[in-house]
Amino acid sequence: MSEGAPVAGPDGALRCPWALSAEDYVSYHDEEWGRPVHGDDALFERISLEAFQSGLSWITILRRRPGFRSAFAGFRIEKIAAFTDEDRERLLADPGIIRNRAKIDATLANARVLADWAEGELDELIWSHAPDPAARPVPKTLADIPAVTPQSTALSKTLKKRGLRFVGPTTAYALMQACGLVNDHLEACVARTAGS
Protein backbone atom coordinates (compact mmCIF):
# COMPACT_ATOMS: atom_id res chain seq x y z
CA MET A 1 0.00 0.00 0.00
CA SER A 2 1.42 3.41 -0.92
CA GLU A 3 1.84 6.08 1.72
CA GLY A 4 -1.18 8.35 2.01
CA ALA A 5 -3.49 5.80 0.37
CA PRO A 6 -6.97 5.10 1.72
CA VAL A 7 -7.12 2.98 4.89
CA ALA A 8 -9.78 0.51 5.99
CA GLY A 9 -11.65 1.57 9.11
CA PRO A 10 -13.21 -0.68 11.77
CA ASP A 11 -16.25 -1.08 9.49
CA GLY A 12 -14.01 -2.24 6.62
CA ALA A 13 -14.73 0.85 4.50
CA LEU A 14 -11.79 2.65 2.93
CA ARG A 15 -11.31 6.25 4.04
CA CYS A 16 -8.80 9.05 3.63
CA PRO A 17 -6.03 8.11 6.12
CA TRP A 18 -6.43 11.28 8.21
CA ALA A 19 -10.03 10.27 8.97
CA LEU A 20 -8.81 7.37 11.10
CA SER A 21 -6.10 9.26 12.98
CA ALA A 22 -8.55 10.25 15.74
CA GLU A 23 -12.00 8.93 16.66
CA ASP A 24 -13.55 12.42 16.36
CA TYR A 25 -12.50 12.60 12.72
CA VAL A 26 -14.59 9.73 11.35
CA SER A 27 -18.03 11.38 11.44
CA TYR A 28 -16.55 14.76 10.41
CA HIS A 29 -14.86 13.09 7.43
CA ASP A 30 -17.87 10.99 6.46
CA GLU A 31 -20.64 13.55 6.98
CA GLU A 32 -19.17 17.07 6.70
CA TRP A 33 -15.76 17.46 5.06
CA GLY A 34 -16.09 18.06 1.35
CA ARG A 35 -19.90 18.47 1.46
CA PRO A 36 -21.24 21.72 -0.03
CA VAL A 37 -21.77 24.45 2.56
CA HIS A 38 -23.91 27.47 1.72
CA GLY A 39 -25.13 30.48 3.68
CA ASP A 40 -23.17 33.49 4.84
CA ASP A 41 -23.16 32.59 8.54
CA ALA A 42 -22.19 28.96 7.86
CA LEU A 43 -19.35 30.03 5.59
CA PHE A 44 -18.24 32.70 8.07
CA GLU A 45 -18.00 29.97 10.72
CA ARG A 46 -15.79 27.88 8.42
CA ILE A 47 -13.58 30.90 7.56
CA SER A 48 -13.21 31.68 11.25
CA LEU A 49 -12.46 28.11 12.31
CA GLU A 50 -9.93 27.65 9.50
CA ALA A 51 -8.21 30.84 10.68
CA PHE A 52 -8.12 29.56 14.25
CA GLN A 53 -6.70 26.27 12.97
CA SER A 54 -3.71 28.01 11.36
CA GLY A 55 -0.60 26.54 13.00
CA LEU A 56 -2.62 23.92 14.92
CA SER A 57 -4.10 20.53 14.12
CA TRP A 58 -7.70 20.47 12.90
CA ILE A 59 -8.63 17.99 15.64
CA THR A 60 -7.91 20.73 18.21
CA ILE A 61 -10.47 22.98 16.53
CA LEU A 62 -12.99 20.20 15.92
CA ARG A 63 -12.98 19.21 19.59
CA ARG A 64 -13.51 22.83 20.62
CA ARG A 65 -16.11 23.64 17.99
CA PRO A 66 -19.01 23.58 20.49
CA GLY A 67 -17.08 26.07 22.63
CA PHE A 68 -16.39 28.28 19.62
CA ARG A 69 -20.05 28.22 18.61
CA SER A 70 -21.13 29.18 22.11
CA ALA A 71 -18.49 31.91 22.53
CA PHE A 72 -19.13 33.41 19.08
CA ALA A 73 -22.96 33.47 19.16
CA GLY A 74 -23.34 30.62 16.70
CA PHE A 75 -21.16 32.56 14.23
CA ARG A 76 -24.06 34.82 13.32
CA ILE A 77 -22.34 37.68 11.54
CA GLU A 78 -24.71 40.42 12.72
CA LYS A 79 -24.37 39.39 16.38
CA ILE A 80 -20.56 39.18 16.30
CA ALA A 81 -20.30 42.50 14.46
CA ALA A 82 -21.99 44.07 17.50
CA PHE A 83 -19.56 42.53 20.03
CA THR A 84 -18.08 45.07 22.43
CA ASP A 85 -14.68 45.40 24.12
CA GLU A 86 -16.19 43.44 27.01
CA ASP A 87 -17.05 40.60 24.61
CA ARG A 88 -13.47 40.65 23.33
CA GLU A 89 -12.12 40.36 26.87
CA ARG A 90 -14.56 37.51 27.54
CA LEU A 91 -13.27 35.68 24.46
CA LEU A 92 -9.64 36.20 25.48
CA ALA A 93 -10.43 34.55 28.82
CA ASP A 94 -12.58 31.68 27.46
CA PRO A 95 -10.86 28.29 27.95
CA GLY A 96 -13.35 26.67 25.55
CA ILE A 97 -11.73 28.30 22.51
CA ILE A 98 -8.23 29.08 21.24
CA ARG A 99 -7.36 32.30 23.06
CA ASN A 100 -5.19 33.80 20.36
CA ARG A 101 -5.55 37.59 20.39
CA ALA A 102 -4.79 38.08 16.67
CA LYS A 103 -7.25 35.37 15.60
CA ILE A 104 -9.99 36.65 17.91
CA ASP A 105 -9.46 40.20 16.65
CA ALA A 106 -9.53 38.97 13.03
CA THR A 107 -12.83 37.14 13.63
CA LEU A 108 -14.42 40.25 15.15
CA ALA A 109 -13.05 42.48 12.38
CA ASN A 110 -14.21 40.07 9.67
CA ALA A 111 -17.73 40.02 11.12
CA ARG A 112 -17.83 43.83 11.05
CA VAL A 113 -16.74 43.84 7.41
CA LEU A 114 -19.23 41.15 6.42
CA ALA A 115 -22.11 42.83 8.26
CA ASP A 116 -22.01 45.52 5.55
CA TRP A 117 -22.29 43.02 2.70
CA ALA A 118 -25.58 42.13 1.05
CA GLU A 119 -27.24 38.90 2.12
CA GLY A 120 -25.77 36.04 0.10
CA GLU A 121 -22.77 38.07 -1.05
CA LEU A 122 -20.20 36.02 0.88
CA ASP A 123 -21.71 32.76 -0.37
CA GLU A 124 -21.69 34.00 -3.96
CA LEU A 125 -18.12 35.31 -3.74
CA ILE A 126 -16.70 32.10 -2.25
CA TRP A 127 -18.53 29.77 -4.63
CA SER A 128 -17.50 31.87 -7.64
CA HIS A 129 -13.98 30.53 -7.00
CA ALA A 130 -14.93 26.84 -7.18
CA PRO A 131 -12.87 25.14 -9.89
CA ASP A 132 -14.43 23.01 -12.60
CA PRO A 133 -14.48 19.50 -11.09
CA ALA A 134 -13.88 17.97 -14.51
CA ALA A 135 -10.59 19.86 -14.80
CA ARG A 136 -9.26 18.41 -11.52
CA PRO A 137 -7.63 14.99 -11.35
CA VAL A 138 -9.11 12.70 -8.70
CA PRO A 139 -6.51 12.25 -5.92
CA LYS A 140 -5.39 8.68 -5.34
CA THR A 141 -3.14 9.41 -2.32
CA LEU A 142 -2.60 12.37 0.00
CA ALA A 143 0.49 13.26 -2.07
CA ASP A 144 -1.88 14.18 -4.93
CA ILE A 145 -3.60 16.91 -2.88
CA PRO A 146 -2.12 20.41 -3.09
CA ALA A 147 -1.91 22.84 -0.17
CA VAL A 148 -2.59 25.85 -2.43
CA THR A 149 -4.15 26.22 -5.87
CA PRO A 150 -4.58 29.13 -8.29
CA GLN A 151 -8.24 29.28 -7.23
CA SER A 152 -7.41 29.42 -3.50
CA THR A 153 -4.84 32.12 -4.19
CA ALA A 154 -7.44 34.11 -6.14
CA LEU A 155 -10.04 33.60 -3.37
CA SER A 156 -7.52 34.73 -0.75
CA LYS A 157 -6.67 37.87 -2.72
CA THR A 158 -10.34 38.71 -3.24
CA LEU A 159 -11.23 38.23 0.43
CA LYS A 160 -8.24 40.30 1.55
CA LYS A 161 -9.07 43.04 -0.96
CA ARG A 162 -12.59 43.13 0.48
CA GLY A 163 -11.16 43.63 3.99
CA LEU A 164 -11.02 40.14 5.52
CA ARG A 165 -8.08 38.96 7.63
CA PHE A 166 -6.42 35.58 8.28
CA VAL A 167 -7.46 34.31 4.85
CA GLY A 168 -4.17 33.34 3.18
CA PRO A 169 -4.07 30.97 0.18
CA THR A 170 -3.50 27.84 2.32
CA THR A 171 -6.36 28.76 4.66
CA ALA A 172 -8.52 29.53 1.62
CA TYR A 173 -7.76 26.09 0.16
CA ALA A 174 -8.60 24.36 3.46
CA LEU A 175 -11.89 26.29 3.38
CA MET A 176 -12.53 25.13 -0.20
CA GLN A 177 -11.93 21.51 0.85
CA ALA A 178 -14.06 21.70 3.98
CA CYS A 179 -16.97 23.45 2.25
CA GLY A 180 -17.14 21.23 -0.83
CA LEU A 181 -15.81 23.65 -3.45
CA VAL A 182 -13.37 20.85 -4.21
CA ASN A 183 -13.69 17.13 -3.54
CA ASP A 184 -10.36 15.96 -2.12
CA HIS A 185 -11.64 12.67 -0.77
CA LEU A 186 -9.33 10.05 -2.25
CA GLU A 187 -10.51 8.02 -5.23
CA ALA A 188 -11.15 4.84 -3.23
CA CYS A 189 -12.59 6.67 -0.19
CA VAL A 190 -16.12 5.67 0.82
CA ALA A 191 -17.03 9.35 1.30
CA ARG A 192 -15.93 10.47 -2.18
CA THR A 193 -19.33 9.87 -3.78
CA ALA A 194 -21.49 9.53 -0.66
CA GLY A 195 -22.52 13.18 -0.54
CA SER A 196 -22.58 14.01 -4.22
Residues that are catalytic = 28, 50, 58
Q: How many CA atoms lie within 13 A of 26 on its CB side?
A: 11
Residues flagged as binding site for Zn(2+): 16, 29, 185, 189
Q: Which residues contact 106 (CB under 8 A, 6 or more apart)?
A: 51, 165, 166
Print burial letters for 65-86: b (CB count within 10 Å at least 16), e (below 16).
beebeebbbebebeebbebeee
Distance CA 53, CA 166 (A): 10
Cβ-contact 40, 47 below 8 angstroms: no
Cβ-contact 133, 179 below 8 angstroms: no
Cβ-contact 32, 191 below 8 angstroms: no
DSSP state, residue 4 = T
